Amino acid sequence: MRTIDFLQEGDGAIILIDQRLLPHEKKVLTIRTHQELIEAIQTLAVRGAPALGVAGALGVALIALRSEQKRWSKVKVGEAIADLRAARPTAVNLAWGVDQVTPLLPQGSAAVLKSALAISQADGLANRAMGKRGAAYLLEKCGRKKLRILTHCNTGSLATSDWGTALGVIRELGEQGYVQEVLADETRPLLQGSRLTAWELSEAGIEYRILPDGAAASALFSGLVDAVLIGADRIARNGDSANKIGSLGVAIAAKECGVPFLVVAPESTIDRSLASGEEIEIEFRADSEVTHFAGKSVAPLGARSYNPAFDVTLARYITAIVTEKCVYEISKGERL
Residue 89 engages ligand MRU in binding (rule: CB under 6 A): no
Any catalytic annotation for residue 233?
A: yes
Residues 6 or more apart whose CB falls under 8 angstroms from that of 153 comprise 185, 187, 192, 193, 197, 230, 231, 243, 244, 246, 247
* Active-site entry in 5, 213, 233, 271: 233
Nearest residue to 123 (alpha-carbon basis) of 160, 152, 73, 74: 160
Residue 243 engages ligand MRU in binding (rule: CB under 6 A): yes
CB atoms within 10 A of CB 108: 12
Residue 133 engages ligand MRU in binding (rule: CB under 6 A): no
- Cα separation of 314 and 242, whole Å? 9
Residue 49 engages ligand MRU in binding (rule: CB under 6 A): yes
Among 50, 56, 131, 174, binds ligand MRU (CB under 6 A): 50
CB of 190 to ligand MRU, least distance (A): 7
Residue 102 engages ligand MRU in binding (rule: CB under 6 A): no
Among 153, 220, 225, 274, binds ligand MRU (CB under 6 A): 153
Residue 277 engages ligand MRU in binding (rule: CB under 6 A): no
Strand partners, 261: 228
Q: What amino acid occupies position 285?
A: R
Is the distance from CB of 169 to CB of 130 less than 8 angstroms? yes
Angle at 16 between CA 14 and CA 20, to 5 degrees: 135
- Cα separation of 335 and 329, whole Å? 8
CB of 70 to ligand MRU, least distance (A): 31
Residue 193 engages ligand MRU in binding (rule: CB under 6 A): no
Active site residues: 233
Binding stretches for ligand MRU (CB under 6 A):
44, 47-50, 91, 153, 155, 159-160, 165, 192, 231-233, 243-244, 309
